[in-house]
Homo-oligomer: A and B are copies of this chain.
């Protein structure tokens, strides 16, 4: 048995088998972690959504994410990349307490600390859950590595609500990281901020703490490649490692019907696919998460398929980094 704290196999497992010998689906490729094996990438589910301000079933996303693996192959046609040579493990899900949310956050911290120590070279991929998970995930990396971490946050929202209002919810991760001195505000780039979804007071807070803020319209006007290049330029010098967090609600409601805080005037999937590919290539990116998809209100898993495709584009970039 592996020495990974607070991680266990999910209650439903994909067999991984396929009858067609001429294609490999993701379920055949991403298998449960095995002892004494090295990995390029480690994936873990973080099924927590009781920490959400609004009613959320985002804890169902890790399992739905895995179920969708049977519908996709390892082959990126556009780049002519077959991901199969990459070594990837599914570490399972982090254990959650039924009624103690602070304990859930503590479990996330402990689990990720143990993952960072067990696989210091691997890129870690967390599949949430709501956005509150990012704070303990990042804290564990800082604890494990001592590195100065930069964050690229794709989000419609700043996530800098005052923690005195409701505790460590999905409205607070960036403020949580800043006020716990885990991350400097200037080391955060937030991309995709949305009209009528934030307040001027929180913008003031973010700007006073040096956060780098990019609105949806600025992305559309400058082009996503430019925005990502600027983000990399801001963080490259001063940060040792980069953590990328994809809050799927940054996308337009017409493309991700299954996120709790849906809204119009969001980014488009191709903008995140492109971003993920570029960031996958960048050596400094050592951890990534996907949050705020609620499969219980989705339509035919469209939103989970989008988060899965972002993941696959990140892996494609990572393939370029490695191969």
Contacts and interface: CB of A to CB of B under 8 A. Distances in A.
A297 interface: yes
Interface string A266-295: 000110010000000000000000000000
A99 B101 contact: yes
A273 B262 contact: no
B15 A167 contact: no
Contact of A254 (B27, B195, B302): B302
Interface stretch (A54-62, A110-118, A140-148): A54-62
Contact of A200 (B82, B262, B305): B82
B23 A202 contact: yes
A265 B309 contact: yes
A316 B23 CA distance: 40
Interface size class on chain A is 35 or more
Main SS at interface, chain A: loop
A264 B255 contact: yes
A247 B263 CA distance: 20
A203 interface: yes
Nearest to A84: B200
A166 B97 contact: yes
Interface string A234-268: 00000000000000000001110100011111000
Interface stretch (A35-43, A71-79, A119-127, A181-189): A71-79
Contacts of A167: 97-100
A24 B170 CA distance: 18
Contacts of A270: 265
A157 to B, nearest CB: 10
A215 B78 CA distance: 7
A55 B51 contact: no
Contact of A165 (B8, B19, B75): B19
A215 to B, nearest CB: 5
A75 B161 CA distance: 15
B166 A99 contact: yes
Interface string A200-212: 1111000000000
A75 B24 contact: no
